[in-house]
Structure formats: structure tokens, C-alpha cells
Structure 1
Amino acid sequence: MIQLEAVVSDRGSRYAVSGGAVVGRAGVDVFLRDLKRQKKYAKATHNTWAVILSEEGPVRHDDGESGAGAVILKMLEREGLTDCVVVVTRWYGGVHLGGDRFAHVVTCVRAFLEAWRKAG
């Protein structure tokens, strides 16, 4: 598991990104369960994620951050990265960010992809 904390901070909201290799939807569920065992991730406002599974195809979940899962998925498709779940976590700071939240998701996924390449 790769975890990058404090990737973006904007108007009180904080963003982190996590990800790692998974096998099937069951692997995604295990990854998410392990991530949320850390209290701060369990208490986060949103844990948005996406993955392209070899056998099952693309899967995404917005976790209340409408459209964010699609942004992550599109980036994974461009990268051609399969069987690797990417989770963008947001702790809401009390101010609506509008479209800036999508730019922050992109920044987080880019940071993850760079770390993934270096680790691989």
C-alpha cells in the first residue's frame, strides 16, 4: 500500500491518496477495510476510489463526492493501470470548493501515479 498524506490543503479541506495492487472486487474490499482501520480514514468525509479490474472491468465509487470516482477512473484508463485501486480521501473543511475539488483529485492521483512508478 502506498499512502501519501497532506497532498493538498485548500480552505480547510485536506486531501490524501492511497492505493495498491488488488485481485478482483474482493481485493478492493479488503484494501478499503484495511485503509479504514486507520481511524482518521474511517472518519474522513469522503474515500472516493476507482480501479480497473482485469476480469471485471472498471469499478468506481464516489462516496458522496459526486463525480470524483469518474475522474480517478479516467486517469487510470489513460495510464493503462489495471488491478490497482486508487483512493482519494478528503476531510471536509467547512467551505465548498466547487470545481476546485476535481483539480485536487487530479493532483492526488498524479502524486500516486508518480509514487507507483518509482516503487515499481
Structure 2
Amino acid sequence: MSEERENETEAINSIYGADTLIQSDEPGVYILSLSEYETSLRVSFPRDYPASIPHVLGTESTGESTRKGYGKYICDNARDILQRIFSPGSVCLFDLLQELDTSLIEGSSDQLPASPSDQEQQADNVLNTGPPLPPNLEEPPQWSLSAPITEKKSTFLARACTVTSPVHARACISHLLATDKRASKATHNITAYRIRIPASASTNEVVYQDYDDDGETAAGGRLLHLLQRMDVWGLLVVVSRWYGGIKLGPDRFSIINNIAREAVIEGGWTRSRIMKD
């Protein structure tokens, strides 16, 4: 196994669960488990991956309560997404899982295979978008994501979204932890936000800036300092860390800031110079 594929496997299993991606008895073939959809897929990796695209060979298994044909539906979605997102030289499984989750949640019922009436409610539950929005959130936040980074068995992932007030920022964090099991199981969810409300004829400019280490001492303040250096406003950044049992020392701060910067730039909050630590 190449170092890139090994790191990708560690990242996937840190974020999604220890047995999400495991090697099968066949050389180069892995089982990708989609536990929320009671389905697992067989994925083949060419020897030179990530230079060449992996292939979804088929369905490994489906749960007893899933719709007839639902495994094939997921398999076909996964193949289509891989063809669209794959870029030679870049690992792609994390992007595949993110895109597949979105596709399955947003898929309309007329796209799904027919099923007996006693399975209709179960299928509806599979496609449910989650709990109701918090009262201070009119619509789900649109997160911009970094690529996950794994270092000494710890995995890091950054998200950024637009926010308009401290109340809005806290609602976005609550929604993330309520709807994303992976984020809720992270060892730390480090947050920082910067919000500026322009002056009006009757009010002065109002600035809000805050952070939360969530147990990762000093990380939140450094994250806020990064946003200040980048001179970006109106956004919340959340960096999740799944601790792997090996201390990283000061290196963790560089990783946190680098992936946070990636999420901010990916979301279009700044198109100017990329800051260097």
C-alpha cells in the first residue's frame, strides 16, 4: 500500500468509523461500508493510485431492511460521482463519501427503485435530512471543507460557513454536531468566527470575534489569529480533530491553521494572497 493510500485509509476510518474502509481477501480490493445506508461497496484500487482512478466493482452487502435494488442505486451513484470528481494524483475517497452522502440525501423518491409498502417508511428514514433546524437557523449552513489530513494517527478536518451574528454562529455549530455523527464524535471541535456589521445612519460599526478551544489548549486563539491575518469577515471556522493516541506537540497548530486556511480559501472568502505561517 502506498503512503498516500495508507494515510487516506487512516483518515477515512478516523472520521467515519474504524471499519469504514478495510481490505478484502482480494489484492487491491477494499470494502467501503456506508453504515448509515446499511450498504457496503467493493472498491478496487489500481497499483498506481492515486494516479489512476479507483473502480466501484459492485455491492458487497445490504441490510435486511433496505429496499430491493437500493444497493445498486448507491453503487451507480458512487460510480458517477467518481468519474466526476477524480483528479489524477489526488486521493478521492473522502470527496466521494461527501458527495455520495449529499446525493443520497437529496435524491428524490422517484429516483429510487420500487419497494414493498412495508419498506416505505424505512426508506424515508434513510433519506431523512436530520433533526429540525435550531430556532435561530433559517436554513442549514453550507460548509466549505478542507481535505482531511492525518498525522501520527490523528485526523484533522476543517469546515467554514457564512455567519451573520454570534447567535447564528452558535446555531451553525449546534446544527453540525446534531446532524453529523462524525463531527460529534471528534475529540475536539475547535471554532473561531469574525463578524462585522457595518455602521448605519443610526448605529456605529459592530465587530464580533470569538473562539473556543474545545479542550485543544490554545488552538482556538491561534485559529482566530489566522482569520485576522487573512482579514476575512462573516464566517465561522470549525476544525475537527480525531485524536489517534500520539501527541503531536506544536505541530498540531500548524496543521489546524493550514487546513482552516484551505477551507476559507475554498469557500471564496478570500482570493488574495495565501498566508504563510
TM-score normalised per structure 2: 0.41
Bigger strand share: 1
User: Paired residue for 1:46?
Assistant: 188
Residues 60 and 69 of structure 1 are in contact (CA less than 8 Å); yes or no, is this contact kept in structure 2?
yes
Q: What is the distance in 2 between the residues matched to 1:76 and 1:119?
A: 10
1:56 deviation in Å? 4.2
Structure 2: state its 5+ residue gaps: 1-141, 197-205, 272-277
1:13 aligns with 2:154: yes
1:69 aligns with 2:220: yes
Q: Which has the larger radius of gyration?
A: 2
Residues 146 and 259 of structure 2 are in contact (CA less than 8 Å); yes or no, is this contact kept in structure 1?
no
Q: Percent identity among equivalent residues? A: 29
User: Paired residue for 2:163?
Assistant: 22
1:84 aligns with 2:232: no
Q: 1:57 is aligned with what amino acid? A: Y
Per-residue Cα deviation, 1:25-74 (whole angstroms, up to 9, x for no partner): 11111110121120110111000010112234210000000111111111
TM-score normalised per structure 1: 0.90
Number of residue pairs aligned between Structure 1 and Structure 2: 120
1:110 deviation in Å? 1.8
Q: Give the superposed CA RMSD.
A: 1.9
Q: What is the distance in 1 between the residues matched to 2:212 and 2:269?
A: 26
Q: What is the distance in 2 between the residues matched to 1:112 and 1:5?
A: 5
Q: 2:208 aligns with which of 46, 57, 63?
A: 57
Give the secondary-structure state (helix, strand or coil) at the position aligned to 1:66.
coil
Q: 1:27 is aligned with what amino acid? A: H
The structure 1 segments of at least 4 consecutive aligned residues displaced by more than 3 Å after TM superposition are none
Structure 1: state its 5+ residue gaps: none
Q: What is the distance in 2 between the residues matched to 1:53 and 1:118?
A: 13
User: Paired residue for 2:259?
Assistant: 108
Q: 1:47 is aligned with what amino acid? A: N
Give the secondary-structure state (helix, strand or coil) at the position aligned to 1:117.
coil
